[in-house]
Amino acid sequence: MARKRTPLRQRLVVAFVLLTAAVSGMFSLVTFVVMEELERTLFVDQLDGELRWWIQHLGNAPQTRPLELPNHAQLYITPDLFDAQLPTFLPAIAVGWQEVADGKESYEVIRRDYGTRRYYLVQPSSEQERREHVWFGVLAVGTVSAWVAAYLIARLTAGSVLEPVLRLAQRVRRADPARPPQRLAAGFANDEIGALARAFEQRLAQLYGFIASERLFTSDVSHELRTPVAIISGAAETLLQRSELLPRARGAVERIATAAHEMQALIDGFLVLGRDPMSVQASSESCAINAIVRAEIERLNAGPAAGTHSIALIERSDVTLPCPPALLTVAVRNLLDNAVRYAPGSEVRVIILPDALVVEDGGSGLPDADIVRAFDRHQRLAPEVAAGEGLGLAIVQRICERSGWQILAQSLPDGMRFELRFAPEPAVVST
């Protein structure tokens, strides 16, 4: 089961937002830590400077009560004050700065000793914490704003970033390997997209060369074979007109004439396959499916293997297709020959539907894993059958690709079912 992939545009937006989130988050964290440490250092230095000023200002004058200072700070001097006048946490404070709490509030405390006197400057941390909260809020709002801005910028720029890729995809989609290649790389910069466009252009040129060579080969071979086949067919018809021809020899000549006609139909089909697909689609030729199917059934019933099979024709519609008769003849012939060859002694059912031709046989069938390989060239999945080169279904597949049809295979409990689906709108359908 194919995993559903997120569109490239969305992945670019997500990647840009995640990158911005990581960078802005790391920047905010580092900024917050540095600013908090810096502010803490400045705050402690300020408290220490203020305490030193008070020590110099007060001198040795005794202080019988705590001094109330600005910003809700208090100055305690011992042994001038009694223990009852001191906060409970104060005696445990060492020299220098310390942050303490009494269960209700936290305090910043600076202690300095001069002679026998100890000076404690105590200031509640609420103001400091308030500034930290404000700073944290500013960083949080800035980080979230950076994420939102990154998302909006990514949405706006993703289109311009992907525009060369989409333009290249559109050119490749419109390129026809069967026609002279276009300049796919024209207008692209000398970057990764330009290199990709030049690679596509080179591969399309190679593919066009292969297709052109194949068409020339098919057309030349088919054209060269038409003359000898016409000679054989004419000679067989001339011999059949001679009354003195013995019955045994007449049967052999009839088989030669039939084989020549089959070869002529196959050559005509290959000539059509060798033509430009646009010229085939623009052709005004049409063919009646029912007539071609009847003719092919009569051919099999009159052939050397006539007694080894039975073919039941079920015509539920009279359908005419806008395509060269040679192509449909080759496709129907290969499907019927395949059914008769690989299901000897069984009944072959041919059903003509308004939009499809169905061929069912009563043979041994194929495992589901081998059905896809049945349309590969030179694939003989039943080696016990002597005849055949494994090309019939591959030819049918190629005709379907050229004509816009579809060939489907399904394994039945007692055989195989091949369904040749035509274009959605046949030329004429009557029931």
User: Among 71-80, 316-325, 418-427, which is the least confidently predicted range?
Assistant: 418-427
- pLDDT at position 281, please? 53
**Which residues fall within 8 angstroms of residue 66, CB to CB, at 6 or more apart?**
74, 75, 76, 81, 85
* CA–CA dist 379, 426 (Å, integer): 32
Res. 274: pLDDT tops 70? no
> Is residue 390 very low, low, confident or very high in pLDDT (cuts 50, 70, 90)?
low
What is the pLDDT, as a whole number, of residue 80?
79
Read off the pLDDT band of 122 (50, 70, 90): confident
Mean pLDDT of 202-229: 73
Give pTM, 2 decimals.
Answer: 0.50
What's the whole-number mean pLDDT along residues 6-20?
Answer: 82
State the DSSP string of 383-406.
Answer: TTS-S--S-HHHHHHHHHHHHT-E
Q: The dihedral of CA 320, 326, 327, 328: what is its sign?
A: positive
Residue 409 CA neighbour count, 13 Å, CB half: 22
Q: Which of 217, 221, 335, 327 is nearest to 272 (CA)?
A: 327
| Res 352: pLDDT | 92
What pLDDT sits at residue 427? 47
Give me the pLDDT at residue 113, please: 86
**Res 360 pLDDT > 80:** yes
> What's the pLDDT at 4?
64
How large is the average pLDDT for residues 399-428? 79
Asked if 423 and 286 touch (Cβ cutoff 8 Å), the reply is: no
Rounded Cα gap, residues 233 and 228, in angstroms: 9
For residues 193, 195, 200, 201, the Cα torsion angle rounded to the nearest 10 degrees is 120
Share of the chain above pLDDT 90, in %: 4
**Confidence at residue 358, expressed as pLDDT on a 0 to 100 scale:** 93
pLDDT exceeds 80 at position 217: no
For 401, other C-beta atoms within 10 Å of its C-beta total 13
pLDDT of residue 350: 92
Q: In the predicted model, what is the mean pLDDT of the chain?
A: 78
**Can you tell me the distance from the alpha carbon of 215 to that of 285, in angstroms, rounded to the nearest whole number?**
21
Q: What is residue 378's predicted lDDT score, i.e. its pLDDT? A: 60
Kindly list the distances between the CA atom of residue 348 and the CA atoms of 132, 136, 390, 393, 415, in Å, as whole numbers in the listed order. 88, 83, 20, 17, 10
**What pLDDT band is residue 1 in, cutting at 50, 70 and 90?**
very low
Better-scored residue on pLDDT, 380 or 90: 90
- pLDDT of 280 reads 52
Whether the pLDDT of residue 430 is over 60: the answer is no
Q: Provide the pLDDT for residue 249.
A: 81
The answer, yes or no, to whether residue 258 has pLDDT greater than 80, is: no
> Per-residue pLDDT for 219 more than 70?
no
What is the pLDDT confidence band of residue 253, given thresholds at 50, 70 and 90? Answer: confident
Contacts with 177 (C-beta within 8 Å, 6 or more apart), sequence order: 204, 207, 208, 211
Supply the pLDDT for residue 290. 92
Could you read off the pLDDT of 277-305 as tens digits, one per residue?
555 555 567 888 999 999 888 888 876 66
